[in-house]
Chains A and B, each alone.
Chain A
Amino acid sequence: MDEEWYDEDAGPVVRPYAVTGGRTRPAANRALELVALVSTTAHGRAMLRNLDPEQQDIVLLCQHIQSIAEISAQLSLPVGVARVLVGDMIDAGLVHVTRPTRPTERPDVALMEKVLDGLQTL
Chain B
Amino acid sequence: MDFRPSRTNTTGSALNPVKIIIAGGFGAGKTTFVGAVSEIPPLTTEAALTSASLGIDDTSQVSAKTTTTVAMDFGRITLLDSVILYLFGTPGQDRFWFMWDELVLGAIGAIVLVDTRRLSDSFPAVDYFEERDIPFLVAVNQFDGSKAYTLDDVRNALDIDARRPIVFCDARRRESVRQALIALVRHALDVVAAETRQRGLLSEASAHVD
Interface residues of A (CB under 8 A from B): 9-10, 15, 24, 30, 32-37, 41, 65, 67, 69-70, 72-74, 78-80, 90-91, 93, 96-107, 109, 111-122
A99 touches B18 (CB 8 A): no
Task: Say whether B148 faces chain A, with CB atoms less than 8 Å apart.
Answer: no
B interface secondary structure, majority: mixed
Minimum CB–CB distance from A68 to chain B (whole Å) comes to 9
Chain A minimum-CB-distance residue to B174: A122
Minimum CB–CB distance from B61 to chain A (whole Å) comes to 21
Task: Choose from B5, B16, B186, B192 the contact partner of A106 (Cβ within 8 Å).
Answer: B192
Task: Choose from A93, A109, A111 the contact partner of B3 (Cβ within 8 Å).
Answer: A93
1/0 contact trace for B188-201 toward A, CB 8 Å?
A: 11001100000000
B44 touches A34 (CB 8 A): no
Known contacts A37-B84, A70-B76, A115-B85; A103/B105 CB under 8 A: yes
Q: Would you give 29 A-B contacts (Cβ < 8 Å), ordered by A?
A: A34-B19, A34-B88, A34-B103, A35-B18, A36-B17, A65-B15, A67-B76, A67-B86, A69-B45, A69-B74, A69-B86, A69-B88, A73-B43, A78-B48, A90-B3, A93-B3, A96-B3, A98-B10, A99-B10, A101-B9, A106-B107, A107-B18, A107-B106, A115-B18, A116-B185, A117-B81, A118-B77, A118-B83, A119-B79
Minimum CB–CB distance from A8 to chain B (whole Å) comes to 10
- Bound-state Cα–Cα, A93 to B10, Å: 14
1/0 contact trace for B17-31 toward A, CB 8 Å?
A: 111000000000000
Total count of chain B residues near the partner, CB < 8 A? 53
B10 touches A97 (CB 8 A): yes
Known contacts A97-B10, A104-B105, A107-B18; A113/B5 CB under 8 A: no
Minimum CB–CB distance from B124 to chain A (whole Å) comes to 21
- Across-interface contacts of A100 in B (CB, < 8 A): 16-18, 106
1/0 contact trace for B176-194 toward A, CB 8 Å?
A: 0010011001101100110
Minimum CB–CB distance from A93 to chain B (whole Å) comes to 5
A98 touches B9 (CB 8 A): yes
Chain A minimum-CB-distance residue to B43: A73
Chain A minimum-CB-distance residue to B69: A78
Minimum CB–CB distance from B183 to chain A (whole Å) comes to 10
- Across-interface contacts of A115 in B (CB, < 8 A): 18, 79, 83, 85, 108, 185
Task: Say whether B163 faces chain A, with CB atoms less than 8 Å apart.
Answer: no
- Across-interface contacts of B81 in A (CB, < 8 A): 114, 117-118
